[in-house]
A = this chain, B = another copy of it.
Amino acid sequence: MGLSHRTMTFSNPVYIQSSGTAVGPKEGAGPLAGSFDYRYTDIYCDEKSWEMAERALMKQAIKQCLTKNHLSIDSVDLFVAGDLSNQTTASSFVARDLQLPYIGTYSACATSVETLIISGVWVSSGLADLVLAAASSHYGACEKQFRYPTEFAVQKPETAQTTVTGAGAVLLGKKRTEIQLTEATIGRVQDLGITDPMSLGAAMAPAAAEVTIGHLHKTNQQVSDFDLIVTGDLAISGSEIYRKLLREQGIYITGRYEDCGVMMYHSEQQVLAGGSGAGCSASVVYGHIYHRLLAGELKRVLVVATGALLSSMTVLQKQSIPAIAHAIVLERRS
């Protein structure tokens, strides 16, 4: 591995062996519906609570991922996962059920790419043959934990986002496949002093811009070296700030940029600025984006997952909202 410090290239190749996604009813009625492996028709996912539903989503995504590869769980060496629940219990309870060696991670909605980076390093350095990475979020569990009981029907501003009910899992290994992880940059926490938890896109955009600029600079690449730059969950308002911050540095992404949170829903689905949550980038990247890479429609994609590092307690204590973004490059072998 080269380019030491926060930007890295995986010199021993790391390939995506397969991926799996599972989403809730709202996501399953959105424009990406056909790209998900499993769509629950009920937000409880046949479980008794939203928290248990989130575990069911993650397990379903993992099941879909392994089934496509005709692999049993025993073939996997390591499970790297994270989610938004307090003490990341969704991931930990899934790890208990899988009985795999487990590394728990947290970087809010940037967790998807954090798990990819750690898993990629494990495979590339020969520490594991097959690593399973997963991330999830659940609308009900998140609203309850971070905001207000949904029954309050609190009015939200246009900049507020809607937590995605969804999970994504991906199996990484050294066996040659069509899609490879090639480069990554670990983010630095950015905090421009935003305190409004209804404007997470604005809090996260500077972190996304910082890691994007850092990655392009360190690897000596241009926007035109990528077919697509895709952010995790900046949503409509955050995406505009991200574009602006890049533009100020002379970086223009128009025509090559999408945001998973924007892509997830139809505009008439009443999701305000768009989707968010650790399951947002995981389900969109491991579903829709991965399929476009497999189809050859995209060759090189820079995925920039974005996370707001707040808690209910930091909001109550009137702290500003730090944010982080991690970047990874997915490439189709030509």
Contact = CB atoms under 8 A, between A and B. Distances in A.
A96 B191 contact: yes
A274 interface: no
Contact of A121 (B51, B52, B95, B122): B122
Given A87-B108, A309-B87, A6 B95 contact: no
B96 A189 contact: yes
A184 B186 CA distance: 24
A7 to B, nearest CB: 9
B127 A8 contact: yes
A149 interface: no
Chain A interface extent, by class? 35 or more
Contact of A87 (B84, B89, B190, B317): B84
A195 interface: no
A273 B34 CA distance: 54
B313 A96 contact: no
A13 interface: no
A222 interface: no
Contacts of A96: 189-191, 309, 322
A92 B314 CA distance: 11
A189 B5 contact: no
Interface centre among A88, A121, A145, A190 (most CB of B within 10 A): A88
Contacts of A314: 51, 89, 93
Dominant SS among interface residues on chain A: mixed
A136 to B, nearest CB: 14
A196 interface: no
A189 B95 contact: yes
Interface in A1-39: 1, 4-6, 8
A121 B114 contact: no
A227 interface: no
Interface stretch (A97-105, A246-254, A289-297): A97-105
Contacts of A103: 105, 107, 114, 117-118, 186
B82 A106 contact: yes
Interface in A69-116: 77-78, 82, 84-89, 92-93, 95-96, 99-108, 114
A211 B107 CA distance: 26
A126 to B, nearest CB: 6
Given A88-B106, A102-B186, A103-B117, 19 more contacts: A1-B127, A4-B126, A51-B313, A78-B186, A82-B106, A84-B87, A85-B311, A85-B313, A87-B106, A89-B313, A89-B314, A101-B186, A101-B187, A104-B106, A104-B309, A105-B106, A121-B121, A124-B125, A125-B125
Sort A-B residue pairs by CB-CB distance and give the 5 closest, nearest first.
A6-B101, A92-B309, A96-B189, A125-B125, A87-B311
17 contacts: A1-B127, A4-B77, A5-B78, A51-B314, A82-B106, A84-B87, A85-B313, A86-B86, A86-B311, A87-B309, A95-B188, A96-B190, A102-B188, A102-B324, A103-B114, A105-B106, A121-B125
